Amino acid sequence: MIKFQNISKIYHSSKTPVVALKDVSFEIKQGEFVSIVGKSGAGKTTLVKLLISEEKPSRGEIFFKGKKIGEMCPADIQYLRKRIGVVHQDYKLLTSKNVKENVEYIMQVIGASDKDISRDVPQVLEMVGLLDRQTNFPEELSGGEKQRLAIARALIHRPEVIVADEPTGNLDLYNTFEIINLLKKIHGLGTTIILATHNREIIERLGHRVITLEKGKIIRDDQEGKFIL
C-alpha cells in the first residue's frame, strides 16, 4: 500500500545541509499497525511529511497504492491527503473554533454538504469520546482530549491510513494508553496505522511491527515490537 524506495531527504534551508533521511526503503501493507521509533531528530516527522507530499524527497520514489507520489497531479495529492489522515505532533487545532467546529471545518473546506457534516461529525466525536465536549474550545481541553480531537480531525474523511506523529508526547501514562487504545480501536476497524513515537512502553505493549530509525537510517525492522535504541 505504501512503499518508500531508496528515499533520501536533505534539507537545504540552513547554511549547512541537514541529511534527515538516508536511503530509506520499506513497505507497509494494508491493515498493518507499524510503529516508527527513533530518537529526536532521527527523521520520523520528515518521513510523515514525505508521505503526504508536504516535502519532496531529494532522492528515491514513494508509492501510494502503486502510484508514484512524485508524479501526482494536484488532484491526486488532494486525494492522497484524504486517504491518509495525519495526527500532527503539535495537534494543529483551530484555537478560535470549538471542538465540533474544529471537525466540521475539515469537511467544509472540501465542500461537504450540511447533511453529510451533521451526520459524520457526531459519529467521529463519539468514536474519540468527545461528544460531551462539543462546545468547548481547545484551550479548555486536557492534553489527552486535544489529542483525541486531533485524531477526530484525521478520521473525518474515513481515511485508509492514519499516521500519528508522536501522539502521546505530552501526555501522562493514563492518557497515553487511552490514545493508544483509541488507535487500536481504529486499527480494529480496518485502518492501517503508522505511529511515530519514542515511547518505549507503548512499543513493548503493542507487540506490532517496529521500524527503528537512527540518524535518518533504518537500523532495524522487527515484526514484533522491540524497542532498541
Ligand X SMILES: Nc1ncnc2c1ncn2[C@@H]1O[C@H](COP(=O)(O)OP(=O)(O)OP(=O)(O)O)[C@@H](O)[C@H]1O
Torsion of Cα atoms, 53 then 54 then 58 then 59, to 10°:
-20
Helical ranges in the chain per DSSP H: 44-51, 74-83, 99-109, 114-127, 143-155, 173-188, 200-206
Which residue, 45 or 176, has its beta carbon nearer to Mg ion?
45
Amino acid at 132: D
Residue 41's binding partner out of ligand X, Mg ion, none, with CB under 5 to 8 Å set by partner kind: ligand X
Please give the residues from 135 up to 174 whose contact with ligand X meets the rule CB under 6 A.
Answer: 166
Shortest distance, CB of residue 26 to ligand X, whole angstroms?
15
DSSP string, 50-62: HHTTSS--SEEEE
Contact 129, 147 (CB under 8 A): no
Helical ranges in 84-206 per DSSP H: 99-109, 114-127, 143-155, 173-188, 200-206
Q: Please select the residue that binds ligand X; options are 22, 24, 34, 45, rule is CB under 6 A.
A: 45
Q: Are strands 18-28 and 2-11 parallel, antiparallel or unpaired?
A: antiparallel
Amino acid at 100: K
Shortest distance, CB of residue 206 to Mg ion, whole angstroms?
19
Shortest distance, CB of residue 189 to ligand X, whole angstroms?
27
Which residue, 107 or 213, has its beta carbon nearer to Mg ion?
213
* Rounded Cα gap, residues 12 and 19, in angstroms: 9
Q: Please select the residue that binds ligand X; options are 3, 44, 100, 146, rule is CB under 6 A.
A: 44
Shortest distance, CB of residue 169 to ligand X, whole angstroms?
8
Q: Check residue 16 for interaction with ligand X (CB under 6 A).
A: no
Residue 11's binding partner out of ligand X, Mg ion, none, with CB under 5 to 8 Å set by partner kind: ligand X
- DSSP summary character for residue 20: E
Shortest distance, CB of residue 117 to ligand X, whole angstroms?
33
Amino acid at 219: I
Q: Which three cell numbers stand for residue 160?
A: 485508509
Q: Please select the residue that binds ligand X; options are 14, 95, 96, 223, rule is CB under 6 A.
A: 14
- Evaluate the CA torsion angle 100, 103, 109, 115 in order and state its sign: negative
Q: Check residue 41 for interaction with ligand X (CB under 6 A).
A: yes
Shortest distance, CB of residue 6 to ligand X, whole angstroms?
18
Query: Of the ranges 12-20, 125-133, 187-195, 204-212, which one interacts with ligand X (CB under 6 A)?
Result: 12-20
Which residue, 45 or 53, has its beta carbon nearer to Mg ion?
45
Residues at the site binding ligand X, with contacts judged by CB under 6 A: 11, 13-14, 18, 20, 38, 40-46, 89, 166, 198
